[in-house]
Structure 1
Amino acid sequence: MNPPRKYVRYGVRLPLLLAALVLTALPVTAGHAATPTPTPGKPSATKPTPGKPSATRTRPTYRYTPPDTAGDKRRAMGKAGLYLDKVAAALGSPGLWVDSSVKKLTARETAELDAAAKASAAPMRIAVIPASAINVAPSSFSSSTRLAWEGEEIADQLYDRVGVEGVYAVLVDARSESAGRGFHAVQRADKGPTYHVGSAVDQAVDCCAPDYEEMLERFIQRGQEINKPFYIDAAPWAGGAAGLGGLWWGVTTLGARRARRKEEQQHLEITKPLLNEEIIALSQHVSGLPTTSDPQQSKLSKDVLDTVEKARHRLDEASGDSDTEAVATLLGSARYGLLCLDAVRAGKPMPEPTAPCFFDPRHGPSTGSANWTPEGGRERAVDVCDACAARLAADEQPDIRMVTVRDRARPYWTLGEELASYIDGYWSRGDGSRWWFPDEDARRAGNEMRARWASRRAGARFGRAASDLGTSIGSWSSSSNSDDSDGGGWSSGSSRRRSFSSRTRSSGGGSSRRSSRRSGGSRGF
């Protein structure tokens, strides 16, 4: 049997009515939850039940209101600023102020630390505050902590409000470093002594954290010590250090001279016989020149003879490479004088000075250049005299200056350091400059010898030591900076926090301009 139609209609409408009642009874959350806004509803189309009064129901709607993040942060910063205003008012004079909510310091400990801060040589103002007083994290994130300021800026904010130069320290109390616990201090002053504020923070955290009493006691003790310039502490030792430095300089210089003199004596054993032989041969050649009545020829002959005699005397007194180099230069000048004498006799203009013949400097100044390939080497252009040029043109070996060393005859340029002064002297222009010597190995040997002698000097050794020290410090600094950048922000308890500084005045009273930062430090623990 089918039910009456009116009961069927009530059976269809009943679930809808129950859903409306449930939505109406839901609680509205506080804060920024959706807020129901009633709107005029339509009357129910359901027919009233016989014997019951009819009722008109409305269906609620919901509208989302976004959170006011900027406003919340502004209000939180204002609250933190007002709190620091209260702290600054309590620290008008140097001393210690502890928030009543901080329970880690007893009244007796607070009084003793306050007396120590007031009696310190540095004007110290120290505040112990809870992290919650300057926490600006949104209230919806109750488990997180974000302080209104970080690092030294917390102490700077207190200085801004007090407005008096001195040492300012803020110990932020919390359950852990991640919750905001840290110790921050700074010294602001345009004149007067600089105190060890940064190292005082480090010592306080390293030795005593998280014991607040011992931390503050160590900070007060270290923070009032004056950071004197290095030269003041080092002055009593300067005389002794200078004496030791002078002694080291003298011993090093003497050792370098002895080592060089020993090597030069070995060179003299080879170069002195060669030059003596050349002086004798050149003297005999000049003595055999025919006499002449021409004044120019007579003057040239006399100049050549005087130059040879000067070379003889210099060689007799030779004691090192500088002497043999000077003798070789004089002999080269004498041979150029003979070339000029020949030109005057032939009625030709005197030639320009040129480099000696590469194969044998005794051949005199070169008259041209030619390509030559040594045994086992590569082709190169060398300065040659007329005789050597003719031999090379005829595919014959040139007349090379051979030197016998240790029972072995070798070309002079292959002896390297032992004949470096001989080569330098002959290839000298006489004005401090030199002609280009074609053999690369001989040039390298001479340069290495001179560089070795220079490196033994006291000044060179001191420069290398200073350079090595600077490199080590630079490497250490670079590694420290990279470690800090890897850590970022708040690091472990033994590392420093990042320090923030602002040149603008805070919202509180006090100083409108910050004095110079003398020292400071910031550590979490």
Structure 2
Amino acid sequence: MEWILVVLAGGALVGAGRQLLVRRAARKVDSEELAQIERLAGEDVTEFGEELARLGERVQADDLDADGRLDYQRALAAYEAAQQALAKLRSANDVSTITDTLATGRYAIVCVRARSAGQPVPVRRVPCFFNPQHGPSTTDVVWNQPKHGTRRIAVCAQDAARLHEGEEPEVRMVVIGNRRVPYWEAGKAVLPYSSGYFAQGGGAQYISEAKITGPLHRIADGGMANGMGDIGPGL
């Protein structure tokens, strides 16, 4: 009887040890995901701050009308809020707070530029699919990526022009091992980041069907590179 109790106790210890290892592995994955999301979001916050600084060099707040100054203040507030949210980021799933704030700030910058040029303020649209750092999209295109099919996606004016001329769009790239891939194919680790910018629409559908179901990948040296794909009929 005693040997049975010993065996049972040993089995319980083994089971507890396995559970501990599983929990530790899960915490490690969560920590790696958070670090990767924090890196991507941090790059976006830095880029937005630089864009805001360039805007300040070209446009003086005193030269704007009341609506223009309000948009300018919204952009400044978005930058401050994004910095604070980045500093408080504790979960990869919370990155949507940062992406939403940056999207609002980028639209505010577009509004300031339009008002300072005496042009109509554009309707707010989702960010450019190829690289959310490009700011709000201006049009939809039908885009075909080899092996992934054709989708209608929202893109910025610059990428739309590149595609129209037969050139490649500027795609937000990340490094997986020794390969550079579009951010939407970087694995589960960046899904909260991608979904934060594209919660619905063609971009969200494309992301959901890309290689986001693969294993966790370590990401480094994010950036932009001329990308891939063809454009169908302009829309």
Verify same fold: TM over 0.5: yes
Counterparts of 2:22 and 2:114, CA distance in 1: 48
Residue number among 92, 100, 107 corresponding to 1:329 in the alignment:
100
The structure-2 alpha-carbon separation of the partners of 1:446 and 1:337, relative to structure 1 and needing over 3 Å to count, comes to farther
The structure-2 alpha-carbon separation of the partners of 1:316 and 1:372, relative to structure 1 and needing over 3 Å to count, comes to same
1:265: which partner in 2?
31
Letter aligned with residue 287 of structure 1: A
Residue number among 367, 370, 385 corresponding to 2:156 in the alignment:
385
Q: Deviations over 1:100-143 (max 9, x none)?
A: xxxxxxxxxxxxxxxxxxxxxxxxxxxxxxxxxxxxxxxxxxxx
Work out whether residues 324 and 422 of structure 1, in 8 Å CA contact, stay in contact via their aligned partners in 2: yes
Greater strand content: 2
1:435: which partner in 2?
200
Letter aligned with residue 411 of structure 1: P
For 1:379, what is the secondary structure of its paired residue? strand
Counterparts of 1:389 and 1:337, CA distance in 2: 21
Alignment of 1:294-313 (within 5 A): 294=64, 295-313=66-84
For 1:287, what is the secondary structure of its paired residue? helix
Displacement of 1:420: 0.9
Alignment of 1:153-168 (within 5 A): none
Work out whether residues 332 and 356 of structure 1, in 8 Å CA contact, stay in contact via their aligned partners in 2: yes
For 1:438, what is the secondary structure of its paired residue? helix
Flag the structure with larger Rg.
Answer: 1
Residue number among 255, 262, 282 corresponding to 2:48 in the alignment:
282
Figure out how many residues of one structure are paired with residues of the other and give that number.
Answer: 190
Displacement of 1:422: 0.8
Q: Which TM-score applies when normalising by structure 2? A: 0.71
For 2:153, what is the secondary structure of its paired residue? strand
The structure-2 alpha-carbon separation of the partners of 1:353 and 1:261, relative to structure 1 and needing over 3 Å to count, comes to farther
Letter aligned with residue 379 of structure 1: T
Counterparts of 2:29 and 2:209, CA distance in 1: 17
Displacement of 1:437: 4.1
Displacement of 1:375: 2.5
Looking at both structures, which has the greater relative contact order when contacts are Cα pairs under 8 Å and sequence separation is at least 6?
2
For 1:381, what is the secondary structure of its paired residue? strand
Q: Deviations over 1:432-486 (max 9, x none)?
A: xx3324365631579979xxxxxxxxxxxxxxxxxxxxxxxxxxxxxxxxxxxxx
Residue number among 416, 433, 437 corresponding to 2:187 in the alignment:
416
Q: Which TM-score applies when normalising by structure 1? A: 0.33
Counterparts of 1:379 and 1:410, CA distance in 2: 18
Alignment of 1:457-476 (within 5 A): none
Work out whether residues 96 and 193 of structure 2, in 8 Å CA contact, stay in contact via their aligned partners in 1: yes
1:400: which partner in 2?
171
Residue number among 137, 140, 155 corresponding to 1:369 in the alignment:
140
Q: CA RMSD in A?
A: 2.8
Residue number among 88, 91, 100 corresponding to 1:320 in the alignment:
91
Counterparts of 2:24 and 2:76, CA distance in 1: 36
The structure-2 alpha-carbon separation of the partners of 1:422 and 1:352, relative to structure 1 and needing over 3 Å to count, comes to same
Displacement of 1:347: 2.5
Counterparts of 2:33 and 2:202, CA distance in 1: 20
The structure-2 alpha-carbon separation of the partners of 1:304 and 1:392, relative to structure 1 and needing over 3 Å to count, comes to same
1:346: which partner in 2?
117
The structure-2 alpha-carbon separation of the partners of 1:300 and 1:261, relative to structure 1 and needing over 3 Å to count, comes to farther
Q: Does structure 1 residue 291 correspond to structure 2 residue 56?
A: no
Greater helix content: 2
Displacement of 1:277: 1.8
Displacement of 1:357: 0.9
The structure-2 alpha-carbon separation of the partners of 1:418 and 1:447, relative to structure 1 and needing over 3 Å to count, comes to closer
Counterparts of 1:444 and 1:258, CA distance in 2: 30
1:126: which partner in 2?
none
Counterparts of 1:371 and 1:343, CA distance in 2: 27
Counterparts of 1:257 and 1:302, CA distance in 2: 45
Work out whether residues 265 and 319 of structure 1, in 8 Å CA contact, stay in contact via their aligned partners in 2: no
**Gap regions ≥5 residues in structure 1:** 1-254, 428-433, 450-525
Work out whether residues 96 and 192 of structure 2, in 8 Å CA contact, stay in contact via their aligned partners in 1: yes
Letter aligned with residue 265 of structure 1: S
Displacement of 1:425: 1.4
Q: Deviations over 1:368-391 (max 9, x none)?
A: 111211122322221111111111
The percentage of counterpart residues that share the same residue type is 29
Counterparts of 1:306 and 1:415, CA distance in 2: 31
Q: Which moved more, 1:372-381 or 1:389-398?
A: 372-381
